[in-house]
Each structure stands twice: as structure tokens, then as C-alpha cells.
Amino acid sequence: MSAKRLLVISILALFCFSPMQGPLSSHLQADDGVLESSPVSLEILMMGNSYTSANSLDNLIDGVMTDASKPANVTSLTGGGMRLSQHSSNVGTASHQWNTTLNNGAWNWVVLQDQSQIPGFPRAHQEWINSKNGAVQLAQTIDDKGADSVLMMTWGRRDGDSVNTQRFPDFSTMQDELEAGYLDYRDNMSSHGDVWVAPVGLAFEHIHDRIVADGGTPTNSGNLFYDLYSSDGSHPSLSGSYLAAVVIYATITGDDPVGLSHSTSLSNSVVLELQQAASATVFNETSHLDYPWQSNNQNPLPPINLSAIPDGAMAFDWIQQSGTDDSDFIINDVVVSPTGDIFALGTASGDDKTDHTIGGCDLPELLFLFVVKYNSNGVCDWTANITGDDAEYNSGWNGGDISLDGQGNVYITGTLGSPKTGQGTGYYFDSWGKSGKIDMSNCNGDCTIGFVAKLDSLGQWEWTRDGGASNYGHGFNSIDTFQNGSSIITGYYGNDILLNSGVGVQVGSSYSDSRQGTVSKNIVVAMIDKNGGWQWASFLGSNGNDAGHDVNIYDNNYA
């Protein structure tokens, strides 16, 4: 590469234009009175079964809202063992109580809770399909009424499920399956308005895992986790229902429940522990979830302090840079997590001039590509590097795209140029905990190879996959990732391409294409799951100069 660039990452904190004049200031001042008016009561409707009716969860939520000085009217519609499909059927039946209650109320939120096992069933199970379809129908009706849907993610049974022992052998396994099921419900519902998840089951898990971390046994009687359940180990005790109430409160309002007063028969110390568990779950441990209070259109903007706006076109929170006038760093793509962490994919010069520090992290020599994570203050948390041998490499290496899944894992695509004949052997994927290699020693001449790779949330490489085949001549330009970690990639290939899930990896399949004659480029679009298993591939083009440049997932369903 001949062009020399500085790597610069900046976070734009504020836009402003020319100094604002009096009339606008008067208008903003007038709006202040609107913002300070009395709060409007929240109208909350709950649909569930005995998990919701136990201990009158609606009254507990109402009480928490009252204790927080947030007026609310909470109503529940429940029946023993009811599924979402049954709630949907009732809502769709004229003159039914469910139908008239939903249609005649001015609801802000409708909280939906499914039967306690079904969300964790296999996706091909008819009960799961029925619940999913019911959830989608409910979401459409709720959105038509101007309300938001909130899925109340329930909890695994204390000792697992004695009926479905293979699928739900213990609490943790059952909780994982329930979480995945509720998130899949959400993803299917999201094309019909806003759908949120209240992670009650994850608050149960927070308490469970804290006891394990302290060396205890959660299923022994007398501890807080054990006491979240009634005697059947399934339904909630008053503690479990109060925990659900404060999780729903935090989910809807974005306010911390810690320190709220209460009027229950629980001890103050137990209430405080439950409030702390809800707070930790919603605000610290579920960055993979979206919440309504994170959305810009949920609340009115506060008054603008005009004197605090600096002169000029813009102001920056922080800037990080690395490189000098004789080194080559390029940022190819940046993605920001819901918590404000910044992940950048970059390309470097691959020589001994890449040994620099950026944001407190050291970059090595012989660096070709890298991923860097910054926190919201501009401090580097980690880097993961792709380095080479101390040798000459043909041009062609380049970072493609970067994306995140719902658990904070990082996925990248890019293209690697081959070492010059008889010199280096390939590229090394180095991180503080794990490393791997893509070997290009079989390349004869000037080759390129497309790759996709996964990093966990701590910056360790999990796996790499490439386009294989004998002729190389391919590259992966773009990637977008579903919440569950499956990704869609696109790029190009020449005469042939082989998407292989890797030696010893018992997931996915292999997909290939081969073209004869004079070939320039063709398009590849493919799906790879979170474990590096290829799920499908499409090969397009007419041997001309074709390439896939960008891919986007929308509604978490379509690419």
C-alpha cells in the first residue's frame, strides 16, 4: 500500500448549528412547563397463568409503582396453564373478556407470559409453534391498540423438570432454553411493533449463580434461591413474585428499584436482596436485550441548556489515534454495543512499523488486521490481532465488516493476501487466551482468501472459517449477525469456492461452486451459525465482475 493514513477513532457527542436566538429560547422555556406536569398513570395489562396470578403479581407491580411514586393501574387476565395461543384465541373472540378488556382500555403495556415449559421446547414442536403464532397475533393486536408488548421471561424449575428430564435436567439448563425461546418469540413478534423482554428468569439465575460462586448449593433449603419457589419447586413464592415485580418495574421505567419501600410481609433484608438482583440483571447483565427506556422516542427530551453548547459545528467526547506518517492504519468498520462499547476492525501495514499503542493497548509488529474494543470513555479494553510471518506478502489483505450478536460476541469478515512464493506460510489469529492460523502455503502466485472469524466478548478468538478451494481468489466483504449469533456474509469468488465447517467440527455442512473458463468474479451469500457451521450458501453471477458488497439483516428475520 502506498497511501499512508493515521488511524483515528472519534465519538461525536453533540451537534449544534449557529448560535440560537431569543424566539427559540422562549419556545424551549415554554416547553419546560409541559415536562414538569404531573405524571400520567401507566396502564398495564397482564396476560398469563398461575405464574402470574400467584401472590397477585398485578397488585405487587402496582405496589412497587406506588412506592416509586409512579401511578399505575395494573390488570391481569389469567387462567391455569394458559398458553399464548389461548390468550390470542380469547383476544380474537368477540365479546370475550380478553377481547373487551384489551379493546376498551387505554393500555401502555401488555405483559405476556407463556406456559412454563413451552418456550424451551424444540422449535419444531407443535406446542412451541402454536405459542409463537399466538405471540405474533397478540403483538399485532396490541400494536394496533397503541400499546407495547412485554414478554415476561419466566424461570427454570428449581430442580429442573421431572417430566422433561432430558431437555430440562436442572435449573440452569432449563433457564437457558427458556431464555432462547422467549428471545425467539420476540424476534418473530418484532415486525408488529415494539416488543420488549422482562428478564425475570435471568434475575432468578443471578441469585442462583451468586450462591454457586460463593460455594453454596442453590437447591438446599434455607437460601434465597430456594425460597424463590413455593413448595412445588415451580410456582413462585412471595419472594419470587416480588422479584418478578421489581424486574418488570425496572424493565418498563428504567428506574433502579434498589431502596424502594414496600408493604409486603417480606423482611427488609430479603426485599433489598431481591431489588439488588433485579437491578443487576436489568442494568448490568443483559446488554443483549433492548429496553424501552433506551429508545429515543419513549420520553420527551429534557430542556436544552443553550449556554452549555460550544461554538462551532460539533464537539467531540474523545479521540484516539495511532500511527505515524510512515505507517499505515485504516479503520474499515465500527460497531457500537447497546452499552456504549465501541468495536473497530482495522487494517495495518504488515511490517515492523505497526508496533504502536492505542488507547492504552499495545499493537504488535507484523500486524495485518486487528479488532480493538474501547469503552465509552475511549479506553482500550483489548485488542485481537491477525499477524504474519517476517516475510514479504502480496497485497490484498483488507478488513471487511464487523458485527455483534445479542451476547456481546464479535464477528468479522475480511480478505487475506498470500505470502510471496517461498516466504511466509499464512496468518496468525492471536488473542490473549487463544490463537489459530489460516494457512496459505498451498497458494501458487498472488492469491486472496476470504475469511470470517468469531471473538468472544473478552476478545478471544473462537474460530475462523475461509473460502478454501485450490485456486483461492475470493474475499468476504460484509457480515451482519442475528441476536442468536448466526450471521449472513457476502463477498466474491473466482473459479471456485469451498465453504467447509472445519475438521472435527460436527456442525453445519459444506457448500461449494466451481466455474470453468475465464472467470473474473461471482457473488457468494451464505449463512454461518454461532459455532462456525455453514447453514446454506447461494452462488450468483455470470463470471463477470460481480461481487457482494454489503448485507443487512432487518426485523431479525430477513437479509
Q: pLDDT value at position 317? A: 55
> What is the C-alpha R_g of the chain?
27
Which grid cell sits at 556? 431479525
Find all residues with CB under 8 Å of 118, minimum gap 6, and list them: 83, 125, 127, 128, 131, 181
Q: 158 with 220: CB under 8 angstroms?
A: no
Q: pLDDT value at position 124? A: 95
Query: For the domain 40-291, what is the CATH code?
Result: 3.40.50.1110
Q: pLDDT value at position 446? A: 66
Which grid cell sits at 555? 426485523
Other CB atoms within 10 Å distance of the CB of residue 324: 11
Q: Where are the beta strands (DSSP E) in 32-135?
A: 42-48, 72-78, 109-112
Q: So where are the chain's domains?
A: 40-291, 321-540
Q: pLDDT value at position 155? A: 98
Q: Classify residue 36 by burial, with Cβ atoms within 10 Å: 0-12, 13-18, 19+.
A: exposed
Q: pLDDT value at position 78? A: 97
Q: pLDDT value at position 28? A: 29
Which grid cell sits at 81? 396453564
Q: pLDDT value at position 438? A: 76
Q: What does pTM read for this prediction?
A: 0.51
Strand order in the sheet with 534-540: 475-481, 487-493, 522-528, 534-540
Per-residue pLDDT of the chain (559 residues; tens, 9 = 90+): 333 333 444 434 333 333 333 332 222 233 333 333 345 789 999 999 999 999 999 999 999 999 999 999 999 999 999 999 999 999 999 999 999 999 999 999 999 999 999 999 999 999 999 999 999 999 999 999 999 999 999 999 999 999 999 999 999 999 999 999 999 999 999 988 899 999 999 999 999 999 999 999 999 999 999 999 999 999 999 999 999 999 999 999 999 999 999 999 999 999 999 999 999 999 989 989 999 998 634 444 444 444 444 554 444 455 555 554 445 678 889 999 888 889 999 888 777 766 777 777 877 888 878 899 988 777 888 888 888 877 677 667 888 999 999 888 999 999 888 777 667 677 888 765 556 777 776 776 667 888 999 999 888 998 889 887 555 688 899 999 988 888 999 998 888 888 886 543 334 578 888 887 666 788 999 999 888 888 889 988 776 778 888 898 876 556 6
